[in-house]
Amino acid sequence: MKPGMSPKETIHELLASMSRFGASDLHVKVGYKPYYRVAGHLKQIDLPPVPSTQYVEEMFREIVPAARREEYERRGDLDFSVKGEQGDRFRVNIFRATNEMHAAIRRVQSQIPSFESLQLPKIYEETIRKTHAGLILVSGVTGSGKSSTLAALLQHVNETRGEHIITIEDPVEYVFQPAKSIISQREIGIDIPSYSEALRYVVRQDPDVIFIGEMRDKETMLAAIQSAETGHLVLGSVHCSDAAQTFARILEFFSHDEHEFIRSSLSVSLGAIMCQRLLPGIEPDSRVPATEVLLNNSTVRDKIRRGEDQDLAAIIAQSKDEGMRNFTHSLAELIENEKIYYDIAMEYAPSREALASAVKGIKTSAQGLVGRVRGGR
């Protein structure tokens, strides 16, 4: 797209520039200029529009795995990962729209993040440190940092325990180097055809920890629950916005007559549901996580078994001493620590009245911050 630059050179230049601009995503669409997503916002790149689907196909011909090209032709959609020339990895989705190839690319930083760098509360590290068997789910919408959080959880196990970790991913994002643990990373479409196929054999591979990239169907969820019940530590992600919705989503995978069995299994095997949303921070081009954490204590187990899910939100709100937290608590904490502006917190608050009440008790310089936002930045 630049004068004299081939399609192959263009894609490598676009990928390399993502790190320089701090971009999390790249969008390539025929007829549009390329776009980067920086701090959650799409920004147009100062380049000519992508001229044709032939140009896009030539851009991606080299980086699409040869064994999976037929899959894209057949399905019109393909996920895969690629390593950039500067060491970063990229999660790539190419898809057909109006009979043209488009692409959405997520940059995955080569360095596995720590809990501190992700600004996650201490309960995340405490939970993975204490949990050696059971099901830990990380939940959130697209772009909420689930993959990074799960990588931090897995890396903690890798650095502190002698375990066999098996990951099943579509595609592989963070690449782990063995520390105290040994690690086998399997990619859907390259190492194994599907999640269900991988999970059918995973317990024969002597795992201690199983990571499932995404819980997206009944077979995957059932295999995760059964593996957790048999003494494995199972981590995975669910595309939901909060803890109650995540629990409801699990049940949606199963018919109504199976719910009693699933509830009984989850009451024993569930360890925690950790939900997060990324919010614009006070620091320029920064984003910080608001979090909600449900821990499976004796009260939660009883509520799950009895089908009293409507009480889970109240239990979270009343169990801060145990490490549980809801989004209102998290947003108030972020305001208090001067991580986000008051009006941003209000924008994302599940209940504005509850957040306003929580903020009233903050006796720090955050009070001045609240006033400054209300009066204009």
Per-residue model confidence (pLDDT) at position 373: 52
| CA nearest neighbour of 263 among 221, 218, 305 | 305
pLDDT for the residue numbered 284 = 87
Mean pLDDT for each consecutive 10-residue tract of the chain (377 residues)? 76 90 93 92 92 92 88 92 82 93 89 95 98 97 93 98 96 92 93 90 95 94 95 96 93 96 96 97 93 97 94 95 96 96 96 93 51 44
Predicted local confidence at residue 86, as pLDDT: 72
Query: Cα separation of 314 and 13, whole Å?
Result: 50
Q: Which pLDDT value is given to residue 171?
A: 85
pTM here is: 0.84
Nearest CA among 62, 48, 67, 52 for reference residue 9: 62
Token pair of 264 as six digits: 């009984």
Q: Which pLDDT score, from 0 to 100, does residue 361 have?
A: 66
pLDDT in the model for residue 84: 80
d(CA 116, CA 125): 10
pLDDT of residue 143: 87
In the chain the domains, ranked by start, together with CATH numbers, are 7-108 (3.30.450.90), 122-325 (3.40.50.300)
Q: How far apart are CA 13 and CA 7, in angstroms?
A: 10
- Count of Cβ atoms closer than 10 Å to residue 38 Cβ: 15
For residue 344 the two structure tokens come to 């941003």
Report pLDDT for 62.
81
Closest Cα partner for 29 from 47, 9, 52?
Answer: 52
Structural element, H or E, at residue 181: none
